[in-house]
Amino acid sequence: MSIRLLATFALAALISTAGAAQAEDTREFSFIEANGVELAYLEEGTGPLVVLLHGYPETARGWQQVQGKLAAAGYRVVAPNMRGYAPSGFAPDEDYTVGTLGADALALIDALGESKAVVVGHDWGATAAMSAAVTDPDTVVGLVSLTIPHPMATEPSLSLFLNAPHFIYYQFPWATWMVSRNDFAHIDGIVEAWAPTFDVARRDTTAVKESLAVEGGVEGILGYYWSISADPTPGTLRADKDTRFAMPALTIAGADDGALDIELFKAGEDGFTGPYTYVELEGVGHFPQVEAPDEVAAALLTFLGSIEPWGNAAPEPVQ
């Protein structure tokens, strides 16, 4: 099923928040060992498990508003800082390969005492979610990708790199200096370029800059890009152009994403062979969960409600 959401979706909620900066997220992280790395995570709610994986340049705090809405609807919602994003630990062997990121998600689910979860990922988190889903489809009972299409649509090409040249320039020796200079001003430039329609006053890159400022933080985060061409870590899998996802899946894209061609999502639809929903948000860029949390939460709740209960109990909304 394909759905195209217009900017008028949940208009009342948008009017109440438009132009207002998001309140600072001051929640304390909890910590858990997963796949050999200590992961910092934020948890809300009880019920079937939903894992929220962030992308670049983001942290778990970018899910704050969406996480609260899902928790209020009766779900246990866990958002970790991915490996390399302080206060989560760095990869002890500098392993930031995609298969390992997926293994982290699966190990997190197990460490939380759960056997099944819906895994939601944005950007790099979406790639990790796909890796987890192809590795263990019995555990990942639902797959959600924000702003990343199926790998069959992202084969290396000139247009792909023109839209996302950072995949190239982060490979140069001066990449760490470029990201670090002027108090990480590069991060603000990335967000502005990738979310060109988002009100500047509502952007908050504090959390990711705090992760970068930790000793080794820039190298940890750029390690994702430095590992692109590395051989998969033994025992891990990553989704590729031949992967077919049979579990229920949802893709959410911003029509004004400055990081990739919106037509790629159509090109990747055949990679989802189970129940599939596509949601395209008008007036939204590369960070839907931050730019349009009400619409993203609504799409997620509709999707979650379509899946047979996978936790110990069915969702019970918080009164």
CA dihedral (35, 129, 198, 14) positive or negative: negative
CA dihedral (230, 234, 237, 242) positive or negative: positive
pLDDT digits (tens, 9 = 90+) for 252-276: 999 999 998 999 999 999 999 999 9
pLDDT of 21 reads 47
Helix 217-226 and helix 175-194, axial crossing angle in degrees, nearest 10:
70
Burial class (CB in 10 A: 0-12, 13-18, 19+), 188: middle
pLDDT of 2 reads 39
pLDDT digits (tens, 9 = 90+) for 188-198: 999 999 999 99
Residues of the chain with pLDDT under 50: 1-21
Question: Which one-letter DSSP state was computed for residue 212?
Answer: H
Rounded to an integer, what distance in angstroms lies between the CA atom of residue 24 and that of residue 64? Answer: 10
Tokens at 273, concatenated: 């062979």
Contacts of 190 (CB under 8 A, 6+ apart): 57, 166
Question: Which one-letter DSSP state was computed for residue 27?
Answer: P
pLDDT of 6 reads 31
